[in-house]
Amino acid sequence: MTDFTQLSFGLAEVCRRAGQFIRQEAASFDRGRVEMKGVHDLVSYVDQEAERLLVEGLRELLPTSGFITEEGTTGGSSQATSAGTDYTWIIDPLDGTTNFVHGLPCYCVSVALLHHGELVAGVVYEVTRDETFRAVRGGGAFCNEQPIRVSDAPKLTNALIATGFPYTHFAQLDDYLRILGSFMQRTHGVRRVGSAAADLAWVAAGRFEGFFEFNLNSYDVAAGILLVREAGGRVTEFLQDGDPLFGRQVVASNSHVHEEMQQTIREFWQEERGAASQA
């Protein structure tokens, strides 16, 4: 039987090695070597090489594992696992590429492990702060090996909320802006860091009370979902309590403010239009 706690230490080391490469490249990065997947969707050789390093290291940890990758290093996809394996790694080699390209903090390496469809281990390594967030199912959540917990703020009026801006599928932009405006009025404020992995890790660490975003992929959120849950928080879809891993919309919180967050979203979010935009 796999010891997921022990495996998570190896995972953390693999992520830190990829992060070290990213940090080295940041010092002399040439913006001219950026590829455009879309106007707001950038990819660089750094993403691609970091993913290759991750896949190589993770194959050593679990030789028979499959992969869900952002940059397609293994030929995998963002929504389907490799066939014939009990273990699947979900990899985002550089979450926050736009920040990286423009020389801004923060950006992360994010990797999680699925076992029979359940998240069992996850690491988010925030490169610019040299912080390793690690979680194991049933084993708690840690930052640089110190235990972390979500905040105990009881209400939205006590909360700082994180979000991300949509960069594709703008059909629901008006809905999103209304939700954003409502949170701005009901909380201590709203922050947009530019990395969903960091947003979720910081909810787990009690720095944010909540986070919401839509049009996300599994590799954006997998490790962060486990971190929040193991730190005592709650993670769902916008309007329902379903598993958000492949649902493309996430609400994460310290649990106390979760119902208020969902109710705020419910006031403005048109679910039918959202489903159509994600098809």
Using one digit for the tens of pLDDT, what is the confidence trace for 185-210? 999 999 999 999 999 999 999 999 99
By the 8 A CB rule, do 110 and 95 touch? yes
Q: Which residues are annotated as a binding site for Mg(2+)?
A: 70, 92, 94-95, 220
d(CA 165, CA 17): 29
Residue 108 belongs to what H/E stretch?
strand 108-115
* pLDDT tens per residue across span 38-65: 544 466 789 899 999 999 999 999 998 9
DSSP label at residue 81: P
| 39: phi then psi, degrees, rounded to nearest 5 | -55, -40
| Fold observed for domain 4-147 | Fructose-1,6-Bisphosphatase; Chain A, domain 1 (3.30.540)
Q: What is the mean pLDDT of residues 223-244?
A: 96
DSSP letter for 17, please.
Answer: H
**Burial level of 248, CB count in 10 A (0-12/13-18/19+)?**
buried
Where exactly are the structural domains of the chain?
4-147, 156-277
* Binding site per annotation, positions: 70, 92, 94-95, 220
Please state which CATH number belongs to domain 156-277.
3.40.190.80
H helices within the chain, ranges in order?
4-26, 45-61, 97-101, 173-186, 196-204, 218-230, 258-266, 271-277
Query: What was the pLDDT predicted at 70?
Result: 82
Q: Count the neighbouring beta carbons within 10 Å of the beta carbon of residue 266.
A: 12
